[in-house]
Structure 1
Amino acid sequence: MKSTVLLALTTAAAGVMATGALAQTAWPERTINVIIGASPGGDTDFNARTMARYFEEITGTGMVITNMPGGGATIATSAVREADPDGYTMLFGHTGHLIVTEVSGLADYGIDEFEICCIPAIDQGAVFVASAASELTSVADVTAREPGSVTFGTEFGGYSHLQGLIFQEGTGAEMTIVDTGSASEKIASLLGGRIDVAGIAYGAVQDYVEAGQMVVLGQPNEERNPLLGDVPTFAEQDVDFVMNNPYIIAFPDGTDPEIVAKMGEVMAQIAEVPEYAEDLEQGFKQPVAFLPQDEAMTRLNEIRDAYMPYREALQAAR
């Protein structure tokens, strides 16, 4: 069944490409280096590797995932930005890597200095969780605490830092925001009782929630992601906090537009494969989502405009 679906999709795509300008560029002809600004095992790494597996099945060409964590993903984005624009170096990141770093001043560049291909997926699996030791079980519990008594773990200047700032604004809570580092370090700090609350992918903490070691406070989606089970949105709790995180496929500035468009075509095919949807659900409770180039740029510019008012607060924490 899987090979039949992939063959049908590949044949259909080949027919479309044969009638247009995309057929003029022979790509891909060799392995593509996909650079990500995250460590192995997290949600970004998972999405990149899942995409790469189906890319190879459809095109017959492999992708190598290169993890370049650190610097708020600026090591990775800089590597792609400075790479040869031949179509064989690609960034798989998200808005934290290409928008929040610009807003926070971690980088002096943003989406305008890349060839944005598409939004291949949208992280709708993020939740806010509290450690069991904190005895926090709801947003109301957080707002009822004395100012500064709730500790929120984040990575300064990054996406989760912005999550904390927007959550505070929406709830009126005053938390102490501390730099704990990566997702795995946040989990360790929650389990050790060193922080009270963090924003993190539900798939990464589900086992701890089910074991009673953590409590989910809510999901920052406009509507419930049904894959998260009975987890309320913050809007349901009268909190103005909607914030999900689109992933981004981007190439170095100057990459042939036909190559960028071809990658978008392949990603659109991947998004239609049922097994791909199953993989996303099992991995990080993530529904399939895809936005082509024009829609992706509109969405990303809207997000950048929404985040810019937090520029001073993010930069002050650095």
Structure 2
Amino acid sequence: MTISRRIALALPLAALAAPAIVRPALAQAAWPSRPIRLVVPYAPGGTTDVMARLVAEQIGQRLGQTVVVENRPGAGATIGAAVVAQAEPDGLTLLMSNSGSHGVSPSLYPSLPYDPMGDFTHVALVVTSPSVLVVTKNHPAQNLEQFIAHVRRAGEIDFAVSGIGSSSHLTGVRLGMALGIRVTPIPYRGAGPAMTDTIAGVVPAMMDSLPSAAPHIANGSVRAMAVSSATRSGRFPDLPTLKESGVDVVNSAWFGISGPARLPAPIVTRLAAVIRESLAQPAMISRFEELTGSPPPESTPESYTEFVRSEIAGFAPIVRAAGIEPR
């Protein structure tokens, strides 16, 4: 048999053997192999969006891959959350989970399009932030005491919120209950458009998360009355808390990273580590302080999972007591 004949016969055998060599290499391809999509279940401009973009930049730098923020607002953050619940568990589609999508909505929507625990892998809590009550700059109230007197005389108040079931919505409802007045939340598809209408005077007041409202408070577009945190804000030390002003309301919004259920353990471990590294950066710490957000000391997939579970249980009686219904 000639040498050329031997080579010709050997080639098919080599071709058959090649996949056995290539397949393991493909199976072990490094994650992420292409850009990651981080879904924000609210419109651009709100706290969820702002926090997501900060984290996306840091995560992308450490993973060496682009993290694209995709806004999917609507239905109290459930539309965007459902997108991620139905995504492939490949680590390339993540959610900026929050107190609206995974705290309030499970008790608010009887036909929620996802299981807040079973359909997700909760990776890490990123930041918490209080709500702030703001009014239009032409509002007659100059401070919280005057605001309370004003709304009690009227017996009611309309206020803008980033969506039905958002943390700011619940805080506003609790404020109305504490003051003994009727409150009418005006829901928007995110804090950005809600703040736009508040600045324009379309609605007289807004309950917003402090990070997204902070620049508008600072430039005088709106007037802040009080924050919902247990202690005063370092950035706005003259702004009282509702609690210290005699209004028994303390509440904070929270934001974290979650993925679809069955996210592979190596991806969860790597992603959680990258998030911890990102939150520890001096630039991130400074930026969070500027935005009046508080990152947790440390968050693990296990601790965030239990945190979400406890928040669902905690919000349920508040939703029932307030008689909130989805729109």
Which category describes the TM-score, using the shorter chain as reference length?
0.7 to 0.9
Aligned partner of 1:135: which letter? P
| C-alpha distance 89-206 of structure 1, shift in aligned 2 (>3 A) | closer
- One of 222, 233, 237 as aligned partner of 1:225: 233
User: Cα gap change, 1:257/1:147 in structure 2, threshold over 3 Å: closer, same or farther?
Assistant: farther
Task: Choose from 158, 172, 181 the match for 1:151.
Answer: 158
Residues 151, 178 of structure 1: 8 Å contact kept: yes
- The residue correspondences of 1:171-190 to structure 2 (distance < 5 A) are 171-190=179-198
Which secondary structure does the structure 2 equivalent of 1:236 belong to?
A: coil
For residues 123-179 of structure 1, the C-alpha deviation after alignment (integer angstroms, 9 at most, x for no partner) is 24x311122333123443344323544222223343332121122233333333333
> Structure 1's 188 and 148: CA in aligned 2 closer, same or farther, altered over 3 A?
farther
Unaligned runs of 5+ residues in structure 2 are: 1-27
C-alpha distance 62-248 of structure 1, shift in aligned 2 (>3 A): same
1:251 equivalenced with 2:254 (yes/no): no
Q: What is the aligned partner in structure 1 of residue 134 from structure 2?
A: 129
Counterpart pick for 2:292 among 281, 285, 288: 285
CA distance in 1, matches of 2:125, 2:114: 19
SS of the equivalent of 1:129 reads strand
TM-score normalised by L of structure 2: 0.80
The answer to whether the Cα contact below 8 Å between 1:143 and 1:173 also exists between their aligned partners in 2 is no
Q: Hey, what does 1:42 align to over in structure 2? A: 46
Range with greater deviation from structure 2 (263-272 or 205-214)? 205-214
Instruction: Provide the C-alpha distance between the structure 2 equivalents of 1:247 and 1:225, rounded to a whole number of angstroms.
Output: 18
Q: Which residue of 1 aligns with 2:92?
A: 88
Give deviations 1:70-106, integer Å, cap 9, x for gaps: 2322221111111111121111131112222222107
Q: For 1:246, give the aligned amino acid.
A: W
Quote the offset at 1:229 in angstroms.
3.3
Tell me whether 1:109 sits opposite 2:101 in the alignment: no
| Inter-partner Cα distance in structure 2 for 1:25 and 1:122 | 35
Q: Distance in 2 between matches of 1:264 and 1:207?
A: 30
Question: One-letter code of the match for 2:63?
Answer: T
Instruction: Give the distance between the partners of 1:129 and 1:98, measured in 2 at CA.
Output: 25
Q: Residues of 2 paired with 1:219 and 1:59: CA distance?
A: 36
One-letter amino acid matched to 2:231: E
User: Residues 161 and 96 from structure 1, CA distance in 2 versus in 1: closer, same or farther, beyond 3 angstroms?
Assistant: same
**1:137 aligned partner, one-letter code:** Q
Equivalent pair of 1:156/1:314 in contact (CA under 8 Å) = no
Structure 1 CA distance for aligned equivalents of residues 166 and 211 of structure 2 = 20
> Once structures 1 and 2 are overlaid, which stretch shifts more, 212-221 or 286-295?
286-295
Q: Give, as a single letter, the amino acid of the residue that structure 1 aligns with 2:134.
A: V
**CA distance 1:176–1:146, shift in 2 (3 Å):** farther
Deviation track 1:214-267 (CA, whole Å, cap 9, x = no partner) reads 321111112223123322211211222111111121111111123112211111
Compute the TM-score of the two structures, normalised by the length of structure 1.
0.82
Instruction: Say which one has the larger Rg.
Output: 2
1:182 is aligned with what amino acid?
A: G
Q: 2:32 aligns with which of 28, 35, 38?
A: 28
**3-state SS of paired residue (1:40):** coil
Check the 8 A contact 1:161/1:314 in 2, yes or no. no
Give the corresponding residue for 2:325.
316
**Mapping of residues 250-269 of structure 1, within 5 Å:** 250-269=258-277
2-structure distance, mates of 1:170, 1:315: 16
Take 2:66 and 2:192, find their aligned partners in 1: how far apart are those partners? 29
Aligned twin of 1:10: none
Q: Distance in 1 between matches of 2:97 and 2:136?
A: 28
Matched letter for residue 280 of structure 1: F
Percent identity over the alignment is 23
Equivalent residue pairs, number: 293
For 1:48 and 1:201, the matched residues in 2 are separated by 14
2:65 corresponds to which letter in structure 1? T
Q: Is the 8 A contact 1:115 1:250 kept in 2?
A: yes
CA distance in 2, matches of 1:142, 1:317: 28
Q: Over residues 1-28 of structure 1, what are the superposed CA-to-partner deviations in whole Å (9 max), with x where a residue is unaligned?
A: xxxxxxxxxxxxxxxxxxxxxxx99433
User: Aligned letter for 1:52?
Assistant: A
Kept after mapping to 2: 8 A contact 1:157/1:314 = no
Q: How does 1:65-76 map to 2 (within 5 A)?
A: 65-76=69-80
Structure 2 matches for 1:292-303, cutoff 5 A?
292-303=300-311
